[in-house]
Amino acid sequence: MPRLLAFLPNPLYTGLHMAKRWWMTLLAVTATWAMLAQAEDLTGRVRKSVEQCTLNQPGTKPFHLKATLAPSLDRDKDSGRTGEVEIWWASPERWKREVRSPAFHQIQIVNGAHHWEKNEGDYFPQWLQQAAGELINPVPQLDQVLPQVKSAEVRHLFGQINIDWVTNTGTAEVHNILRSGIALKESDGQLLYAYGFGWGGGFKDYQIFHGRTIPTTVNVGSPQVTAKVVALEDLGEVPPGWFDAEAPGGDPNPLRTELIDEITLRKNLLPAEPIAWPPLQDGPLQGNVTTQIVVDREGAVREIGTMISENGGVNATGKEAVLKMRFKPFLVNGEQVQVMSQVTTPFKTVRPSGGEIFESAHDYFERGRSVGFPAAAAKSPYLLHAQFEAGAKEGVETGRYEDVWVSEDHWRREAWFGKSHYVRSQNGNKRYQLAEGPEASVLQLVFRVLEPIPAIDTFVESDWRIKRDTVNGTKTVRVLTGYESPEGQLDPVQVRAFWFDDAGLLLKTYFRGIETERADFQDFGTVKIAHHIDVLKDGQMAIRILVTDVTAADNASGKTFEVRGHEWKRAFTDEVR
């Protein structure tokens, strides 16, 4: 009998257990409701932000808009992506639009159920369509976007709310994804950028139009085009017949662009010659090349987006192969249409024979850290001091920098310059950041210059290209990402580059148009620390940093690494510390 009683439920235990389960359930339900409430609040903010800057919606005052289009970057000035957009809008069911580029001109009229258009040119460029659409409707698929926002990844940084999500795409044989996102200004919810399949842009220079807040500068596409609104005004009087959608002379078969998935796209793909992939000195030897394309009514590829792959060395060949693709014409209700889709091409290649085989960017970065930076290689606490000279409002001033390191999760970096002060630190699993004063940005640059190698968790290996180079007569390996012209000019916005000698020491860097040169390497334990660093902008000296001493340090109190009230979460930065 005692054994039987041992298995019978204890009333007190059962009551406590049930109470505990009840509280756990209540907490779970409460947390779930809190998450749902946050998602609903964010969805509401996105809806309000988009509707506030959308012109072509019910309730908008009739308007006339005119915008000019031109390449955003000087290097794309010969791309042919110039033109104009002009819109006369009375209501969502009654409007007229004219778009013009060097190779295409269209006039389109909508009046109720009637649609009229006249085209000059056999292909309506996607970049031109997108620019014309984004000017008046930044998120054309808002009802499809809002459900995605509820479960999207949300990050708050630098005064922005960044909302991102992915959609699974590709084929049964080759899986892929499409990325989409929206960014809002934290303070007032203003739309900063939005993008998805077949739509999207960056938005700025807002102006008020009858209660709407409208962006007058819109950036779209790749190569990027900037649309500048030169007129946004009340519609006023229009000539008789201005919105006549039954006038003679229109095209019987309007130009349409349909968005289709890759499976549907490939059903019309015609046979082609196998692709001869180039040998690759570094990086993965197999993977996928992915891009977005627009196919015209005859089945030829007319536009191609940015090439994305596991190894950038195959991108040029992949782009050439995609441009050569041919398709049977796509039909909708028996009429030929343009289509936009994603296309994924697998690649597989080999190493070149007889050539130098480079290691990965990951290996060069990790070696550079371990041989030249005490925070990465130190086994015992250290204290480093440096002085620097930089330009300020009153002329050239001297600043100072201090780095105390006890362990990977107990350290403090601090700098002073004039009336400015900047701190980053870590105490256990808590990070801190404090920036104050008018020259805080100078101090942030000093931090990056002193430890410039990007964190491994912030980059994609295939983005980096590696080759031999020299720095002041020393043989180096250059690791670079971003656009480099055929003449060797580095794009100051996109390019990041690092030059390592054969021992792994970092001799030179380039980022944001800023070049640094590192010299006077001195031993400290197992590392060689650069004691002289020159920072140059456009070839002119901007900052000179001199490390004055590096010494062993006693263990510091935990409070040394706390900056109360300035907790910080590392995000959107490739700096390790």
Fold of 45-234: outer membrane lipoprotein receptor (LolB), chain A (2.50.20)
Mean pLDDT over 483-495 rounds to: 85
Mean pLDDT over 559-570 rounds to: 87
Fold of 258-348: 3.30.1150
How confident is residue 455, by pLDDT bands cut at 50, 70 and 90? Answer: very high
Structure-block tokens of residue 563: 């900056």
Full strand arrangement of the beta sheet holding 104-111: 114-120, 104-111, 94-101, 83-91, 63-71, 225-234, 212-220, 199-209, 191-196, 175-185, 160-170, 153-157
- Note the pLDDT of residue 6: 33
Mean pLDDT over 380-409 rounds to: 90
How confident is residue 12, by pLDDT bands cut at 50, 70 and 90? Answer: very low
Name the average pLDDT for the chain.
Answer: 89
Task: Using a pLDDT cut of 90, give the percent of the chain over it.
Answer: 72
Residues with Cβ within 8 Å of 343's Cβ and at least 6 positions away in sequence, in order, are 262, 265, 266, 290, 291, 292, 293, 322, 325
Q: Is the pLDDT of residue 360 over 90?
A: no
Structure-block tokens of residue 111: 């009046």
Looking at residue 521, its amino acid is F
- Note the pLDDT of residue 4: 31
- Note the pLDDT of residue 39: 59
How confident is residue 38, by pLDDT bands cut at 50, 70 and 90? Answer: low
How confident is residue 121, by pLDDT bands cut at 50, 70 and 90? Answer: very high
Tokens 């010969």 map to which residue?
78
How confident is residue 20, by pLDDT bands cut at 50, 70 and 90? Answer: very low
**45-234 and 361-561 in the same fold:** yes
Q: Is the pLDDT of residue 8 over 50?
A: no
CA distance 107 to 95: 11
- Note the pLDDT of residue 352: 85
pLDDT one-digit tens code per residue, 247-283: 999 998 889 999 999 999 999 999 999 999 999 877 7
Structure-block tokens of residue 466: 């590696």
Region of residue 439 (left: phi > 0; alpha: psi -120 to 50; beta: else)? alpha
Q: Is the pLDDT of residue 515 over 70?
A: yes
- Note the pLDDT of residue 458: 83
- Note the pLDDT of residue 463: 82
Mean pLDDT over 349-376 rounds to: 90
CA distance 485 to 465: 14
CA distance 44 to 163: 13
The top-scoring range by mean pLDDT among 3-7, 83-87, 159-163 is 83-87
- Note the pLDDT of residue 560: 87
- Note the pLDDT of residue 34: 42
Residues with Cβ within 8 Å of 446's Cβ and at least 6 positions away in sequence, in order, are 388, 390, 399, 401, 415, 417, 543, 545
Task: Using a pLDDT cut of 70, give the percent of the chain over it.
Answer: 91
Q: Is the pLDDT of residue 391 over 70?
A: yes
Range name among 35-39, 173-177, 414-418 with the lowest pLDDT average: 35-39
Mean pLDDT over 279-288 rounds to: 84
Q: Is the pLDDT of residue 27 over 70?
A: no
pTM across the whole model: 0.68
- Whether 306 contacts 482, CB under 8 Å: no
Nearest to 384 by CA among 552, 139, 559: 552
Q: Is the pLDDT of residue 89 over 90?
A: yes
Cα torsion 492, 487, 506, 573: sign: positive
Mean pLDDT over 470-494 rounds to: 90
Residue boundaries of the structural domains of the chain: 45-234, 258-348, 361-561
Structure-block tokens of residue 548: 């004055």
CATH 2.50.20.10: does it fit domain 361-561? yes
How confident is residue 317, by pLDDT bands cut at 50, 70 and 90? Answer: very high
Nearest to 539 by CA among 520, 514, 504: 514
Range name among 155-164, 263-272, 448-457, 507-516 with the lowest pLDDT average: 155-164
Check residues 559 and 532 and name the one with the higher pLDDT. Answer: 532
- Burial of 515 (C-beta count, 10 Å sphere; 0-12/13-18/19+): middle
Structure-block tokens of residue 414: 């601090």
CA distance 392 to 161: 33
